[in-house]
Chain A
Amino acid sequence: MSDPTLDKLPGGFKGMSEDIGSDQTTFKGVNWGKAMMWIFLLSDTFVFSCFLVAYMKVRASVTEPWPYPSEVFGLEVFGVPVPLLLIAIMTFVLITSSGTMALAVKYGYEKNRKMCGLFVLLTAIGGLTFVGMQAFEWSKLIFHDGVRPWGNPFGAEQFGAFFFMITGFHGTHVSIGVIFLFIFARKVYRGDFDTGRRGYFTTMKSDYVAIEILGLYWHFVDLVWVFIFAFFYLW
């Protein structure tokens, strides 16, 4: 981050063209893993875009009416129907976990082992809470409201299909992230990034930049959720 050789590089478009024209690395000072994660996220963006475009296309062309989201996703609290209550809490939890992730990255670069580990763990718990609430939401839709991938009582049958597929695909991303967050919380606590302990599978050393890479993934998953939220719950 604060590599002194990098401060001397010229900025702006001139700097960019010089970097691209130079040898060895195109993105100066960018760790391999970090560059890889950015490219992966670009590819994953295309995956989610395809899902969402397909959703928009089918929603625009089905003949049956599309279910009304604030009705379907509402919760009844003390007999009062509140639209989008659960989803608001879920979104809040997930966005908060992005905040704790950012703090984990900051403490990582300060080589503050304990605080970094704590915030990675908090992020993992936030993610786990999100997945738990999503499981609750799914089971309510399936068992209480009778929404199925092949049909539902509210309207066009593609509603359930797209909802379960896209939130499921996103939920899988979150779950994978949670697993990695727990693994990395342990690695940070154990001091792997201070001692240069080698990875179990890859046999490679790593350092706190791994936390930033994990953070990139986590923020991406949150960002995708914002789009899913807008497209499914607000449209």
Chain B
Amino acid sequence: MSDDLNIKKTSSIKTKSSSVSGGGTDIDYVRPAELPEQDLYHGHSFITKWIFCQDAKVIGIQYTLTAVFTGVVGLILSWMMRMQLGFPELFPFLTAESYYQMVTMHGMIMVVYLLTALFLGGFGNYLIPLMVGARDMVFPYVNMISFWMFFVAVVVLMASFFVPGGPTGSGWTLYPPQAILEGTPGSGYGILLMLISLSLFVIGFTMGGLNYVITILQARTRGMTLMRMPLTIWGIFTATVLALLAFPALLVSSIMMTLDKVLGTSFFMPTIIKAGEMLSYDGGSPILFQHLFWFFGHPEVYIVALPAFGIVSDLLSVHARKNIFGYRMMVWAIVGIGALSFFVWAHHMYVSGMNPWFGFFFASTTLIIAVPTALKVYNWILTLWRGNIRLTTVMLFCLGFIVTFVNGGITGIFLGNVIVDVPLSDTYFVIAHFHMVMGIAPLMVIFGAIYHWFPLITGRFLDETLGKWHFWVTFLGAYSIYFPMHYLGFIGVPRRYFEMYDSPYMTSAVGMNEFISVAAFIVGAAQFIFFYNLVKSIRLGKPAGKNPWKANSLEWLTPQVPPEHGNWGEKLPVVHRWAYDFNVPGAKKDYITQTTPPSEVIEAEVEKT
């Protein structure tokens, strides 16, 4: 009987392996290489190896460290904001002006300079060449410039803390006309440096983004079809395409506002009477800025979310020892969400006075985008269903992601409807929504991903005990912060107000506000457990060895751990399957790596990929 089965399987593999392998009788056959070996520049000095380095892995780490630095700044700003909101007038330096500056810088830093740079610049650079089986990015030199451009953008942004008038306080959306008019904090140098920094960021990102896209499209290894790529790569790829098409709107609006500020043009500036005097501005359109900004701003949400979707799928699959449920559906959902994200931007502008039909249209598209997103959530849960779940720190963060993401997603459906949004607009409900869905949820994935890939980068595990403390404090703490904020929103507490104890509706919420603030202090402090864990584990962590999580994807299969420059030693890997062959019936081990040829696992009932 068993013989019978084996014959059947062998023959089925033969017939199935044709499209990439070109038919024939050799079931291990993979098409020969189309391209010659990549020419690489090997650095020799400290400067070319670690500073102006062309190795994507080093660039990825540079991006990560810079982004995390900005993230710490953003964290400290959020502490000070919570200090003011929970315990007003405790610190005299927390004035209304500085509060607005903190709100603005916190928002911009977290969205653009932390999350975007970390997911695409950090994880993208480190993982793309390794996961698709390339020796490096296709244009290592441009990639290096990309990081230094980002670095300069960060320096310019941070410089705005030290210029006269301080950083801009116009809110992270930088809406004109107030952003560049006197009376808004930082309307002099602050806003100018912000706009310059954003422009530099866009230019630098474009250089990196072209690298990511072309490496994925044109530099995969033998046997690596698009539908065998790990979902991490699909997420980063789609997000990069979104960024390349959405950042232009940010660049254009930054240039136009810079001209409004410096040359006195009136692109966004209507006729304004200030203290009885007409300003020189005339006839511009502030709504135009909002459209341009959100044409960037909404895809930006998915630029942050899609890599998180991709990464979490891989982490769940590895740590539940089960193939990802509905891989192709997941891919199409990522692509579909990416495409739809360009048609929903004006749901951020329901109260801006648009034509009501616009609201109708954008509410519809917004609700449609919930369909592929919900599909992904179901697939994550079905991946866990009857999996061999290992409750590692990585898995805990993934579960935390699913919960927070579902929570933030559902409040997103509330806000996507015009009639529900109008009363809730500009309240703490909105704050709670977007912090849950694009703050905490992607951060959960980032933490999970760092716990997951740290052994690859350093050869050592992060400490699991500290990791679990880090997770539980962060997860429960984040809920303590943002769950009450939904309620604050319902009772009508407006966002961006620096003090509200004199308002009658606030007296009932004083205790809650104090509670939120204390929770925020604790969650912020818990991140320093994580930083301590990182520093400690680089030297003292448990040695991990090769492929410690028993994963299938290529990044774990390099001859050296951590991988050296060029990644693969003498020969590039050859891929025979997708990255999700876990617990395949009939197989001897519970995982089959992507490089395992079919002849070695002839007894396993693998799916064709």
Contacts and interface: CB of A to CB of B under 8 A. Distances in A.
Interface in A27-45: 27-30, 32-33, 35-36, 39-40, 42-44
Contacts of B217: 25-27, 35
Contacts of A40: 206, 210
A195 interface: no
A121 B145 CA distance: 28
B256 interface: yes
B218 A32 contact: yes
B288 A26 contact: no
Interface in A13-71: 18, 20-30, 32-33, 35-36, 39-40, 42-44, 46-47, 49-51, 54, 57-58, 61-64
A47 B256 CA distance: 12
Contacts of B2: none
A150 B248 contact: no
Given A36-B214, A51-B252, A150 B265 contact: yes
Contacts of A161: 259, 263, 265-267
A212 B224 CA distance: 29
Contacts of B218: 25-27, 30, 32, 35
Contacts of B225: 21-23
A62 B30 CA distance: 63
B511 interface: no
A179 interface: no
A43 B138 contact: no
A62 B265 contact: no
A161 B258 CA distance: 12
Given A23-B222, A50-B249, A64-B283, A150 B266 contact: yes
B141 interface: yes
A58 B226 contact: no
B139 A32 contact: yes
B251 A35 contact: no
Interface in B275-310: 280, 282-285, 288, 291-292, 295
Given A50-B249, A203-B41, A23 B30 contact: yes
B589 interface: no
Contacts, number: 154
Interface string B258-271: 01000111110000
A78 interface: no
A80 interface: no
Contact of A149 (B35, B253, B259, B292): B259
A150 B264 contact: yes
Interface string B130-144: 000000001101000
Interface residues on B, range: 35 or more
Contact of A22 (B20, B139, B280, B288): B20
A165 B206 CA distance: 21
A135 to B, nearest CB: 18
B292 A43 contact: no
Interface in B216-239: 217-228
A165 B244 CA distance: 22
B282 A43 contact: no
Contacts of A23: 20, 30-31, 220-225, 228, 575
Contacts of A44: 248
B249 A46 contact: yes
B39 interface: yes
A158 B252 contact: no
A2 interface: no
A189 to B, nearest CB: 24
Given A24-B31, A54-B292, A150 B263 contact: yes
Contacts of A64: 282-283
Highest count of chain A CB atoms <10 Å: which of B211, B218, B222: B218
A28 to B, nearest CB: 7
Given A27-B218, A156-B283, A36 B252 contact: no
Nearest to A45: B248
A158 B284 contact: yes
B255 interface: yes
A228 B291 CA distance: 22
B245 A43 contact: yes
A59 to B, nearest CB: 10
B283 A46 contact: no
B369 interface: no
B607 interface: no
B214 A35 contact: yes
A42 B265 contact: no
A165 B255 contact: yes
Interface string A122-163: 000000000000000000000000000110000011101110
A22 B206 contact: no
B223 A46 contact: no
Nearest to A150: B264
A86 B245 CA distance: 34
B263 A26 contact: no
Interface in A199-227: 201-205
A202 B19 contact: no
B267 A24 contact: no
A201 B253 CA distance: 32
A50 B30 contact: no
B426 to A, nearest CB: 25
A111 to B, nearest CB: 19
A161 to B, nearest CB: 4
Contacts of B96: none
Nearest to B228: A23
A204 B141 contact: yes
B267 A58 contact: yes
A28 B223 CA distance: 15
B289 to A, nearest CB: 9
A64 B211 CA distance: 46
B35 A158 contact: no
A33 B219 CA distance: 12
Contacts of B253: 50
Interface string B453-468: 0000000000000000
Given A23-B20, A62-B283, A39 B220 contact: no
24 contacts: A20-B226, A21-B20, A23-B31, A23-B221, A24-B34, A24-B35, A24-B219, A27-B218, A32-B138, A35-B214, A36-B214, A39-B213, A40-B210, A42-B244, A46-B245, A50-B252, A57-B285, A58-B284, A61-B285, A149-B264, A150-B263, A150-B265, A165-B256, A165-B265
Given A21-B225, A36-B139, 4 more contacts: A40-B206, A57-B285, A165-B259, A202-B139
Nearest 3 CB-CB pairings of A with B: A161-B265, A46-B248, A50-B252
